[in-house]
Each structure stands twice: as C-alpha cells, then as structure tokens.
Structure 1
Amino acid sequence: MRFRPSLLSLLAVFKERKGNLLKISPVLSVSAAAEVLYHGIKDAARVLRRYKKKGLKTDSNTPPPIPNGRISTSVRLACALRYFAGGSPYDIMSVYGVSHTIILDSVWCVVEATNQVADFYIEYPKSCFEQKKIAKGFEEKSDVGFSNCAGCVDGLLIWTHKPTEKDAEMSGVGQKKFLCGRKSKFGLNCQAISDVRGRILDISIVYGGASSDCLAFEGSDIFQKLELGLLHDDLVLFGDNAYLNSKFMVTPYPNVSSGSKDDFNFFHSQLRIRVECAFGMLVGRWGLLRAAIPQNISLTRTIALVHALAKLHNFCIDMHDKMHSKEPASGDIPERLQEDEDYMVTHSPEGYITMTTTDVSGVSLPSGLMDCGHHSDDMPRALRRTRSILNDIEESCPTSQPRELLHLQVIESQLTRPHENQINHK
C-alpha cells in the first residue's frame, strides 16, 4: 500500500522505550496535535479513496486477511524513522511486533511518500524577498556585518558499499569513480546549500565519491541557474577553496596566514561553517548515514533515501523554530538510544563515523565524511588556467569580484581575527 504521511505521523520523530510500552515523543502541543489528528485522518481517507478509484491495490482488498490486523500509518512511519536514526531492524521488530520485511517495506513507503509531498520539496528560492531573508539571517550572525551571503555550499560523502557492476554501468562510469581517495570509502558526492539555521536549500547528488566538489557543484542544476543570474541584488554564496571564486561564489583567499586577507578569511569562515553545522545535524539525526548504506540498496534508491532524509531534516528544524526560539537547532536532536549506538558499533562491517569534532555552535560534525572533494584532480587544465587568470584580474581590479568588496569591508571595519583564533589558526 502506498500512503502519504500526515503531519500526525511526523510527530513521532524518535521513540523512547519504557518497559514494554512505547512512548512517542510529541513535537507539537496537545491542541495542535488534536488538530493535526483531525486533518490527518481526513487526508488519509481522501488519499485512500483516490487510490481505490485508480484501481490500486490496498491492504483492505489484499487476500488473505492480515492475521494480526492492519499496520497503521503511524507505526510504519515510526519503524522507518527509527531505522533512519540508525536502529537495528531486529530491535525494531521486537518493539513493534512486525516482521523484517514489513520494516523495510515501511522504510521505502516513507521515502517514496516524503519525496512526493509538495510541501517538502527542496528548491533554492527564486524570489528576491526570500533570498534577502536568507541573507538577513547570515548578517545577524556576522561580526563584520556581511549582508550579501544568501547561502553556504559544501560537499558531504554519502558512504556506500562498492557499487555493483550493474549499478556502475547504469551510471555510465566505472566502479572506481565512486571511490573517494581522501577518505578511502566508496560513496556519492552530495552537494548542498544551507541557510544560517542549517536548513538545506538545495541538494544535488549526481557524481561519485571520487569527484571533486568543484566538478560536482558545476554539474548540478543550481550551478546552471546561478550562471543565468538566479541571485538578486549582488547576493552571493559562500564556499571553501574547493570551489572557484566568481561573481556569485565567494571563497577564502588561498595561502595567507596574516594581514587583512587572513582577517577576511576568519569572518568568511564564521558564516561558511553553517553548512558544516547542517551536515552535522543531518548525520547526527539520521544515524543511518554514519555507516555505509546497506549493500542491498541500489545507488538510485540511495539517492532517493538521502533526499527524503534532507526533507525530514528541514521539517524537524521548521517544527523546532515554531515551538522554540531560533537559537541553536542542535537542541532539537534527541539523545540516541544506547541500543542503536551499540548496533552501529557492532554491526557495521566497514566501521562507522564518530561525531567527535565540535564546532563553535556546539554541533558535532561528521569529519570522516567531510572535505571529501577537496582536490582538483578531475579539473581540466584549461579550467585551472582560467582560475589563475581570474585571480590575477581580481588582484589588479579590486572591485571586479564580490570577494574584494567584502575584503574592503573588513578593512574599513578595522576588525581583525581574534587573538585566540590567530594562535590556533593553521
């Protein structure tokens, strides 16, 4: 049976066990939950009627009758969320009294349904108002008052097992294209843009783990839109030195350790770290990403899975912001169940990623999956020469690129890198 998850189902972000009873942690107030329940039942009934009209098979007309009764939508969603969080399917079986097959079926029903909900769709906003709203959020966090940052971009390795020859053939590349040499892991290069809260504004997974961040980003749909003038009023994205500095992308100055350019790099990283926080929250919330995606999951399904997790990640942040102040969203990630942590440690043949590196915002980062595309091995020599020429032009014409304008802003503010950061700066 296919179903669309109602907001009621999404109230169960994580479960808490107490004896033999299951307690679903609510995300909304009681009154709000009652309203969601009412509308959720109406939505579910309407969707079910529509499916029946189309002649699709549902549980109600599937012979023979289910011995232990129907499995409710909320139970299916709870099973899927626990699985996404890194839980063992066998532990989930014992908690909910369902079979291993039902759990995996529920996972893919939730993935499919989440990716079909229009309200969850991830697309970088086109309107000037929405883009400036994003920039305003970054400006409030910038000590020097950078007001034109409309998002931060970075890459994350989606760890997988070595893809099958069939999967690699369907992708049009060899198996080696999925091997990230920097991390010695097979996987996919995920490019994402986040806002200051860690919400994912755009996500692209079209290259293997061997590709550089620059190539993966320039092969995405958002890059083509940026080239055509997606950003309004001189707004830009912030990225690290894995990307090319341009009219819509501001990167740090390379190979500097002192002076005003180093000061600029500090204030630049003060905002750029927000996308790293987004990855920390994403992987911290969905522990499934801390280990290699199970081998029986194809690359196509892996991409669909990550897109669904990103959408649910945004949903959790939105719900947190509606209920609490817009301060660190790391507080809305419940503590992981010990049995789930133990399962990841003991049942991940290739190991798992520890969340040990903590940034200034208090969000633990999956450093073992980050910086995977910080190389230029797959960049054509012509592109490298073009990059060098553009840097020379920028040096000779200070107002030709946004980076130089922001550099001048730092100089005029007379602000410098804090001393303690200067000491620890590499």
Structure 2
Amino acid sequence: MDNIFASAALIVQAAATAARNYDFSSRTGRIPLARQRRSVSEIYNCLGSVYFRRAYRMSFESFWRLHLLLLPHIETCLRQFSNYEKKGGRFGGNYVLPPIRNGEISTSVRLACAIRYFAGGSAYDIAVMFGTSYSVVLSCVWIVVSAVNMCPALYISYPDSVEEQRKIAAEFEKASTPGINNCAGAIDGILIWILKPSMKESKNAGVGQKKFFCGCKNKFGLNCQAVSDSSDLHRRLENGLMKKDGEKDRFVLFGDNAYLNTSYMATPLPNVAGNEDMKSKDNYNFYHSQLRIRVECAFGMLVQKWGILRMAMPRNLSIKKIIAMVNALAKLHNFCIDEHDIPERALAGDMNNIVNHDQGYVEMSSCGDESYDVPMDLMDAGHHFNDVPRFIRRQNSIEDGLLPRMVIHDFIANGHWERLVFTN
C-alpha cells in the first residue's frame, strides 16, 4: 500500500513539474516581443527629402497622395486577410477587438513597408525600421499588392479609341526625326526572374518546367510583354489591342524581330547592316530603332525603380502571386511617372541582388553583369529565332509591299533620310 501511495506521489510531482514547464504559447499564441512603432513621418524626419525619395521611389508628398488613393482598398484587404472572427451577440455585433501589445500598425506604415520591400529592401531591416515583425512586413507586401490591383485609378489598359491612339502616334511623330506618324506604341518583353517552378506549379500553368527556362538569359523566368508610349515623362507599361483608323490607315506597334511583321506590327529588316546595296533598309532600321528604344527605356526605369525585379522571386511564391506582384509594380511605376518622380541615382544597397538561399541565409550579390540600365544608344534588330512554322506564316502572309513596314521604308527612302553617324 505504501508503494502505491509513493507511486501516486511521484506521478503528482511529475505532473506539477510538467505543468510548470509547459509552453502555453502553443495554445494561446506566441507572446509578442516589445517593439517601438515608428511612423512614416518619423522615418522622413530621419532621412530627409532626398534620401526618402531614393529609398521609397517617390517624394514624401507623392507617398501621401498614393496612400489616400489606396486607403479604402488597403482597409478592405486588411479585413479580408484578417483571421479574427467577430463574436458576441446574435449577429456578431457586440465584440471587442483583441488587444495589440505594441499598438496598431497604421495603413501608411503598411504601405511604406511594401514600397521599401519592392525597392529592394530586406524584410528584416524593414521590420526593425518600423518596429514590426518579419511576418508583418511580408503580409503588408501582399495586402498592398492586392490593394493596388483593386484600385480602378491605377488600372492599366491600352486606349481602345482611335482618338487616344492618334494622340500617342502624334507623340511618336514628334520623337521621330523623319516624322513617322503611324506608330501607336513600342512593344517588347522582359524576363521576370524566378527559380525553377515545382512540378505542381508547372502543372497548374499547363506547361512543363522546361518551358519556363530562357536560353538567352540562362535562367528561369516569366515573359512579360508590354507596350510603351513615346513621351519622356510618360513611359507607361500598357497592354491591349490596336484599332483600325479608316479603311487604309492603321496604327501599328514597333517591335523587334521576336515579333512577326504583320499589318499591325512593324519589325526591323534583318541582315542589312553594313551592306551598301541595302542602305535604304539600314536607314529604315535606324529610325525604327529610334522609336522602339522607348519601351527599353521604360523597362530600364521599371527595374531600376523596383529592386525586387533584380532578384529571383522566392521559391514559395506561386505563378499567380508573381504575376499579381509584377502587375502592381507596373501600376506603381506609372503612378510615379505621373507624379514626375523620375528615378534618381539608386542607393548602393538597392543595386544588388537579394539571394535567399535554401539553407536559410541571405546574401547580397552584385548585379553588375545584368544589363538593366536605361539604354543610351539605339538598338539592333534583336537576336531571335523564328519559331513559327513556315507554312503558317505563308497562310497568313500578305504581300510585303502592302505591309506598314515597307510603307514606312518607302517614306524614309523618298525623303532621303539617312541614319545619323555619331563621332567622338
């Protein structure tokens, strides 16, 4: 009997010890660390106007205009992302929000966290700067991405009216030395760098993993196609379709030889450089490049502005999330252009690639080998191969003399316009 009581006493003692050592945070949630929140105004006072604009890619005044624009959508996304369930009362109306130990995180801080992350900042440093947790910074990123994509004022679309397209063509005509007047946009593609997608992601996309590999860049990525206008201050990223203006006149897009020469697309003439017998065609390529370079400038500004595009997207992001983020970055890029916030010289830390290794450590590697700068010289026709079968091209072909490319070529040749020769 004494042994039974002794065993019972040992069991009670062990249970008491286990209760003292039990981690109640696994049941009640992790106890938050004590943090000191900092507002956007405090960060501005520390940085000043010049460095705030470099760090957040826009002026202090533009930031608050963007915040006012996105405020209702950020609040909507916060309610959608929240896991808290309203309790109390038959209809859940009588309830009290759970207490926040360190204070509520304002919508302006959430927007600033996301913009600094887009610009190339580390989530760890952003968390320390604003007094939040690492997970909060990442949640702010996707809240802002959703808010930007929900905002009608930031919606991207190619103008579908002939009058709007005529205005774009007039801007290109001013930028063109010979006065080419039928260009309503410059089109090109940019590779959004990603890590090798999983089999599940590839299956969801409907293609194999190898389809995401770019042999030219020697990396995996998503192909983003965009159209830009000609203005120096309004290089917008847009998408859409061309409209026909009358029976004979049609506005066209200017693209490189990755695209087919059609009734709505004017491409360079291949294999004409340095050939005296094809000097008129070489002149056409020169003035074609004079307008096509606008979209390259837009891509250069986009990648210089948002440093996250100079890194491989994290492996745990789905293709849909990456597409949503790139769309949001393009919309924010257009907002900054409208605000006349032209990119200044980037901070040294933002000119590096942020590499998140699978082993858990973060490395900053130089991106000097990447050609993401705004181009200063005119371009060649591009190095591409034709992946459209010949019989399909023959079925859809039109007599070359009737296509816009040869019409523009004849316009340049008849005007005796020759390519400019730059000398040092």
Please give the range of the TM-score, normalised by the shorter of the 2 chains.
0.7 to 0.9
Aligned pairs (5 A) from 1:97-176 = 97-176=131-210
Deviations 1:236-256 (CA, angstroms, capped at 9, x unpaired): 111111111111111111111
Offset of residue 23 of structure 1:
7.4
- Which of 389, 404, 407 is 1:405 aligned to? 407
Offset of residue 300 of structure 1:
0.7
The residue number in structure 1 matching 2:316 is 296
- Which of 224, 238, 246 is 2:254 aligned to? 238
Deviations 1:200-228 (CA, angstroms, capped at 9, x unpaired): 3534xxxxxxxxxxxxxxxxxx4xx44xx
Give 1:174's aligned amino acid.
Answer: G
1:95 and 2:129 aligned: yes
Offset of residue 64 of structure 1:
2.8
Q: Identity rate of aligned residues, in percent?
A: 44
Deviations 1:109-148 (CA, angstroms, capped at 9, x unpaired): 0000000001111111011221111111111110010011
Give 2:270's aligned amino acid.
Answer: P
TM-score (norm: length of structure 2): 0.73
The residue number in structure 2 matching 1:199 is 235
The residue number in structure 1 matching 2:220 is 186
8 A contact 2:244–2:251 mirrored in 1? no
Deviations 1:310-352 (CA, angstroms, capped at 9, x unpaired): 00111111110xxxxxxxxxx7113323333456389458974
Give 2:321's aligned amino acid.
Answer: R
1:344 and 2:354 aligned: yes
The residue number in structure 2 matching 1:214 is none
The residue number in structure 2 matching 1:315 is 335
Offset of residue 401 of structure 1:
1.2
8 A contact 2:311–2:355 mirrored in 1? no
Q: Distance in 1 between matches of 2:373 and 2:48?
A: 36
The residue number in structure 1 matching 2:305 is 285
Q: Distance in 2 between matches of 1:70 and 1:230?
A: 54
The residue number in structure 1 matching 2:89 is none
Offset of residue 65 of structure 1:
1.2
SS of the aligned residue for 2:160 comes to: coil
The residue number in structure 2 matching 1:218 is none
The residue number in structure 2 matching 1:376 is 386
Q: Distance in 2 between matches of 1:46 and 1:88?
A: 25
Structure 1: gaps spanning 5 or more residues: 1-11, 204-221, 321-330
Q: Distance in 2 between matches of 1:193 and 1:356?
A: 18
Deviations 1:257-286 (CA, angstroms, capped at 9, x unpaired): 241111011000000000100100111101
1:414 and 2:423 aligned: no
TM-score (norm: length of structure 1): 0.73
The residue number in structure 1 matching 2:118 is 84
The residue number in structure 2 matching 1:272 is 292
The residue number in structure 1 matching 2:68 is 40
8 A contact 2:300–2:374 mirrored in 1? no
8 A contact 1:150–1:236 mirrored in 2? yes
8 A contact 1:291–1:350 mirrored in 2? no
8 A contact 2:184–2:251 mirrored in 1? yes
SS of the aligned residue for 1:200 comes to: coil
SS of the aligned residue for 1:262 comes to: helix
8 A contact 1:284–1:355 mirrored in 2? no
Residues 151 and 71 (structure 1), Cα distance of their counterparts in 2 relative to 1, 3 Å cut: same
SS of the aligned residue for 2:253 comes to: strand
Residues 21 and 246 (structure 1), Cα distance of their counterparts in 2 relative to 1, 3 Å cut: closer
Q: Distance in 1 between matches of 2:415 and 2:169?
A: 19
Offset of residue 63 of structure 1:
4.7
Offset of residue 356 of structure 1:
6.5
Q: Distance in 2 between matches of 1:21 and 1:199?
A: 25
Q: Distance in 2 between matches of 1:47 and 1:82?
A: 17
